[in-house]
Amino acid sequence: MPGNIVIVDYGMGNLRSVLKKFEQIKIPAVISSDHHVVAKADKLILPGVGHFSAGMNSLAAYNLLDSLHESVLIKNKPILGICLGLQLFANHSEEGNCNGLGWIDADVCRFRVSDKLKYKIPHIGWNTVDIIKESPIIKGIDNHSSFYFVHSYHIICQQKQDVLTLTEYDYNFASSIEKGNIFGTQFHPEKSHDIGEKLLKNFADL
Provide the residue type at 16 as one letter: R
Nearest by Cα to 177 from 68, 89, 59, 102: 89
Q: Which of 35, 123, 154, 188 is catalytic?
A: 188
**Residue pair 6/28 in contact by the 8 Å Cβ criterion:** no
Q: Which of 83, 95, 123, 151 is catalytic?
A: 83
**Parallel/antiparallel/unpaired status of strands 79-82 and 43-46:** parallel
Active-site residue 109, yes or no? no
With a CB cutoff of 8 Å and minimum separation 6, the contacts of 166 are 129, 130, 132, 172, 173, 174, 175
Active-site residue 190, yes or no? yes
Q: Which of 51, 157, 190, 197 is catalytic?
A: 190
Active-site residue 69, yes or no? no
Residues acting as catalytic residues:
83, 188, 190
